[in-house]
Structure 1
Amino acid sequence: MKIGFLGFGEVASNLSRGLVDHEVDVYTCVEGRSSRTRENAEKIGVNLCSTNMEVAEISDITISAVVPSRAVEVAEEVSNHCRGIYVDMNNVSPETVKQALGFIKKGRVVDASLMGSIIKNGLNVPIAASGPCAGEFAELNHYGMNIDVVGTDTGQASALKMLRSIYTKGVSALIFEAFSTAHKMGVDEELMKYLQKTECPGFKDAAVSRIINSTYHAQRKSDEMEEVLQFLREYTEPVMTHATSAFFKMISKKIDLTEKPEDYRDIFQELK
């Protein structure tokens, strides 16, 4: 089995690590990426190709895991070179997924969406999949993946991802706003204490993780929320989601982190 990744960020690197452990041949292209990305790929044991087209030509399954703004561009780039199944695993709207997959000439495509944390779950992260070849893609469950086929139409899996994002990113924005205000007032530890009494077990760790990730990945989340808005406007007036999108856009402009801080309070210091 040969699996290729277009893009080698957080999603691709974590899935690759698990697949290599299951003796799958993994391929990617890191041309134009940082030396750190190349070193990470080599350390994991990923085979490096010179172009994305080469990745698509070699792979039985090609997985696109790029930033949302490049989903369509990358699909078009490899459209004539994909010999196997093409999987769009980008955090984009159903319409964007359909546009991207429309470039794949043979039509052997899958709409796939991560439905959990890739950092916490690694290869076992829940993945919703739909489209003509979703069942074939789900055969990777034999190699340690956790793929659930939710339908045969492209757009179904990405719609579920969009709806999940409305909730998860909205909660993250509210937590950030509440604790940044509490920190300015010197009562953030007290707020955490009281919320731990009323919220679910593990609330403190989850809240701290949301604050840090909201900042570290603010630009990516801002791009993703634009896709969510595009999707949601077809069905309703996205009042709350619009506010969440504005929040991530604001954070991406105010704070630029090169690495994740260990203490969430360092982030609030940057906002002063």
Structure 2
Amino acid sequence: MIVAVLGLGEAGSAFVADLLTAGVTVRAYDPAVGAPPGTVACASEADAADGADLVISVNSATDSVDAARNALTGLSVTTVWADVNTSSPARKREVAAVLEGHCAFADVALMSTVPDLGIRVPMIAAGPGAAEAARLLGTGGANVEVIDGQVGDAATRKLLRSVFYKGLGAAVLESLAAARAAGLEEETRTEIMRELERASAATLDRLVEGSHRHAVRRSHEMAAAAEMLDDLGVPGRVARASRDWLQDLA
């Protein structure tokens, strides 16, 4: 099997290493990074895609459309293009439109972090080329779940998770920054850890139902929290967003 990897950053490099270990021929291209040892160094996206069974586009969301356009002359109708960039559903559909008629397209979403898992990171795939992309990626050691749906549906599932998980991370960062400024970082860190350890399936219901039931009081509480953060010199981005959500619910 021949796989083209477009983008040799953290994720791309990890994929390349695992594909080489699996005995896959890797054609590599990144305009800013040299091709890793063991790969076929290519001069462009089209050069990398030439003869490839699978193209893994893992450059960036901002570059994904241009990468697709640049690769067109090297593609075959039997090639599968796996767009694994973290981009919006609309951007995935834009890439698919560029490639329509030139190759099969799969919207692939990475559902965990790559550094610890490499190509074995859990993935979901949607779109007309999803099943074949899953088969080809699986040959290299990947674990891909194919879901029913259109291009953009895999990206939607990933980004909905991101709103929660990355938003939670932002809330923790803001809380700890404020606690540090107030001289209460260790105490606050312990309280956050305690709440995370106590979390269960029922926690979600309590968060949703409690926010609706106590929206007015909680909006006032978060307004006070934002004011406190101002006094501590810490930007209250999450606190103000929480206040606004609760005001809308009220």
Which category describes the TM-score, using the shorter chain as reference length? 0.7 to 0.9
Q: Counterpart of 1:119?
A: 115
Q: Does the residue aligned with 1:110 lie in a helix, a strand or coil? A: strand
What residue number does 1:67 align with? Answer: 60
Task: Please state how far the C-alpha of 1:107 moved relative to its aligned partner.
Answer: 4.2
Q: Specify the structure having the higher radius of gyration (Cα).
A: 2
Deviation at 1:144, TM superposition (A): 1.1
CA displacement 1:190-237 (0-9 Å, x = unmatched): 222222223139xxxxxxxxxxxxxxxxxxxxxxxxxxxxxxxxxxxx
What's 1:146 paired with? 143
Amino acid at match of 1:75: A
Cα drift, residue 146 of structure 1: 0.8
Measure how far apart 1:103 and its partner are. Answer: 1.2
Partner of 1:93: 88
**Aligned-pair CA distance for 1:186:** 2.4
Alignment gaps of 5+ in structure 1? 202-239, 245-272
Q: How far apart are residue 92 of structure 1 and its match?
A: 1.2
Shift of 1:50: 1.2
CA distance in 2, matches of 1:243, 1:50: 46
In structure 2, C-alpha distance between the alignment counterparts of 1:154 and 1:15, rounded to whole Å: 22
Q: How many residues get paired?
A: 199
Pick from 164, 169, 172: which aligns with 2:169? Answer: 172
Q: Distance in 2 between matches of 1:190 and 1:47?
A: 53
The residue identity in structure 1 corresponding to 2:23 is E
Counterpart of 2:36 (choices 33, 36, 42) is 42
How far apart, CA to CA, are the structure 2 residues paired with 1:133 and 1:49? 24
Residue of structure 1 aligned with 2:133, choices 131, 137, 142: 137
The alignment yields a C-alpha RMSD, in angstroms, of 2.3
Q: TM-score, normalised by structure 1?
A: 0.67
Give yes or no for contact 2:81–2:133 (8 Å, CA) kept in 1: no
Q: What is residue 8 of structure 1 aligned with on the other side?
A: 8
- Specify every segment of 5 or more residues in structure 2 that has no aligned partner in the other structure, as ranges: 199-237, 243-250
Q: Secondary structure at the match of 1:68?
A: coil
How do 1:173-192 residues align onto structure 2 when only pairs under 5 Å count? 173-192=170-189
In the alignment, the residues of structure 1 paired with residue 197 and residue 48 of structure 2 have an alpha-carbon distance, to the nearest angstrom, of 44
Give the aligned residue type for 2:72: S
Q: Return the offset for 1:115.
A: 0.7
Letter in 1 for 2:36: E
CA distance in 1, matches of 2:30, 2:22: 22
2:61/2:91 contact within 8 Å kept: no
Would the aligned equivalents of 1:113 and 1:161 in 2 still touch at CA under 8 Å? yes
| Aligned amino acid, residue 117 of structure 1 | T
Aligned-partner Cα distance in 2 for 1:86–1:243:
38
Against the structure 1 CA distance between its residues 46 and 180, is the aligned structure 2 distance closer, same or farther, given a 3 Å change threshold?
Answer: farther
Take 2:51 and 2:88, find their aligned partners in 1: how far apart are those partners?
A: 28
- CA distance, structure 2, for counterparts of residue 22 and residue 102 of structure 1: 32
Matches within 5 A, 1:17-28: 17-28=17-28
TM-score (norm 2): 0.73
Q: Percent identity?
A: 27
